Structure 1
Amino acid sequence: MSVFGKLFGGGGKGKGPSPQEAIQKLRETEEMLTKKQEFLEKKIEQELQIAKKNGTKNKRAALQALKRKKRYEKQLDQIDGTLSTIEFQREALENANTNTEVLKNMGFAAKAIKSAHENLDIDKVDDLMQDITEQHEIAQEISDIISKPVGYGEEFDEDELLAELDELEQEQLDKNLLDIGGPETVPLPNVPSTSLPSRPAKKEEDKDDMEDLQRWAMEAL
């Protein structure tokens, strides 16, 4: 019988423990050893204090305390190694258990897929998909026909209509340009309502000038 078999109580011919049972046992062992660690750490601290206290007073008692401290430290090291081994074993079992569950569920899903495909024939599926594609194309053609505008059976050339529209737009543009450059667009000033002041005739002005010149000549003589 193996060491783990003895630990978990399994017989050589009997059925071994399940992964869940083994994981639980390992966790209980880890808990027990952890408590043992705490106990030894306290004992080590106690023996250290005894050695310090009797270092100068009772050398023999101090040495005995240090010896006990060394034994406790050795046990603590052994427990540390054992815990590392148990932790490694537990993680391996947990991973194995997880993988087992994953594979079990994958197998269950594979069986479900197989069961779903039992009544399906690949040839029938292919024929069905071809029928669906054909019906879709027919439905699209019908939609295209229905969506075409109906104008009493008349059909017009779209290019000719576009050309005519361009001509109309050019004609309107030319008209707008003529309206902008024409004389009628420039507003003329309003005719003043008041009459302009009268200006004396040129002859009368010349006559007055001659009279002034003659008067000036007479005064000079």
Structure 2
Amino acid sequence: MMAGIMSYFGGRRDTKQAARDAIVGLRQQLQMIEKKEEHLQKKIDEELKKAKANAVSNKAVATQALRRKKASESEMDRLAGQRLQLELQINTLESANLNAETMAAMKKASDVLASIHGNMTMDKVDSTMSKITEQREIATEIAEALSYPTGTEADEDELKAELAELEQETLDERLAGAEHVPLHIPAGARRVEERPTVAVEDDEEAQLRELQAALAM
């Protein structure tokens, strides 16, 4: 039945709209059945009331009322079956429409994923990750090489030779300084050497006094 309804609406804009139109039509039919059931229920209540009123005084009228009541009840049962089928059909269409929309959304997402991945495969991913790891290792080695000071290491023999030169220069400076240190002279010897100088100074003073006396005359 659903296939027939879908084919009936096949000329509509699209399947989604056709499903919506079918659901609307089914709901309208369901409303008509519900109104018919309300009308029949009123008739059943009226016939039952009439049958009770004439059950003793007029059995023929009561019997006819009961027959009409039974006919209305049979019609009610038939309408109830139709209403159930319509409700099931509506539920089926709504479920099918939801499934179609879900599948369309999933298909769209799948297409987007396919376009994103393109020709990507696990082998290509593994190869790319291996290259990335290799390049990281190379970058680390380059960084370490750039940060390591170059040209600062000295040969041990060269250092020892330079140290020996410094030691020799220090010893030479000390020896040169020792040659200019004054020798220690005993006190008695120093006085003997100083005496002639004092005598010379006394003679000069005597001559100066004699010259001054001569000029005074």
User: Number of paired residues?
Assistant: 140
**Which 5+ residue runs of structure 2 have no aligned equivalent?**
142-217
2:63 corresponds to 1:84? no
Residue 125 (structure 1) shift: 3.6
Distance 1:126-1:4 versus aligned 2 partners, 3 A rule: closer
1:194 alignment partner in structure 2: none
Equivalent residue runs for 1:129-168 within 5 Å = 129-134=129-134
Q: Distance in 2 between matches of 1:38 and 1:116?
A: 59
Q: Distance in 2 between matches of 1:9 and 1:126?
A: 50
2:117 alignment partner in structure 1: 117
Q: Distance in 2 between matches of 1:126 and 1:135?
A: 14
Q: 1:15 aligns with which of 11, 17, 21?
A: 11
Give the structure-1-normalised TM-score: 0.52
Give the AA of the match of 1:69.
Answer: K
Native 8 Å contact 1:8 1:25 kept in 2: no
Q: Distance in 2 between matches of 1:9 and 1:28?
A: 19
Give the AA of the match of 1:86.
Answer: L
Q: Distance in 2 between matches of 1:23 and 1:109?
A: 28
Residue 126 (structure 1) shift: 3.2
**Equivalent pairs: percent with the same residue?**
42
Distance 1:35-1:58 versus aligned 2 partners, 3 A rule: same
Q: Distance in 2 between matches of 1:121 and 1:84?
A: 52
Native 8 Å contact 2:6 2:19 kept in 1: no
Native 8 Å contact 1:33 1:79 kept in 2: yes
Distance 1:105-1:58 versus aligned 2 partners, 3 A rule: same
1:183 alignment partner in structure 2: none
Q: What SS does the corresponding residue of 2:57 show, helix, strand or coil?
A: coil
Residue 35 (structure 1) shift: 1.9
Residue 65 (structure 1) shift: 1.0
Native 8 Å contact 2:55 2:62 kept in 1: yes
**Which 5+ residue runs of structure 1 have no aligned equivalent?**
142-221
Greater fraction helix: 2
1:36 alignment partner in structure 2: 36
Distance 1:79-1:111 versus aligned 2 partners, 3 A rule: same
2:22 corresponds to 1:26? no
Give the AA of the match of 1:102.
Answer: T
Give the AA of the match of 1:58.
Answer: N
Give the AA of the match of 1:67.
Answer: R
Give the structure-2-normalised TM-score: 0.53
Give the AA of the match of 2:113.
Answer: I
Greater Cα radius of gyration, structure 1 or 2: 2
Native 8 Å contact 2:2 2:93 kept in 1: no
1:128 alignment partner in structure 2: 128
Give the AA of the match of 1:15.
Answer: G
Return 112-121 or 57-66, whichever deviates more: 112-121
Distance 1:116-1:40 versus aligned 2 partners, 3 A rule: same
Q: CA RMSD in A?
A: 3.6
1:94 alignment partner in structure 2: 94
What whole-Å deviation, never above 9, does each CA across 1:71-105 have from its counterpart, x for those lacking one? 10010010011112212222222221122111111
Distance 1:41-1:99 versus aligned 2 partners, 3 A rule: same
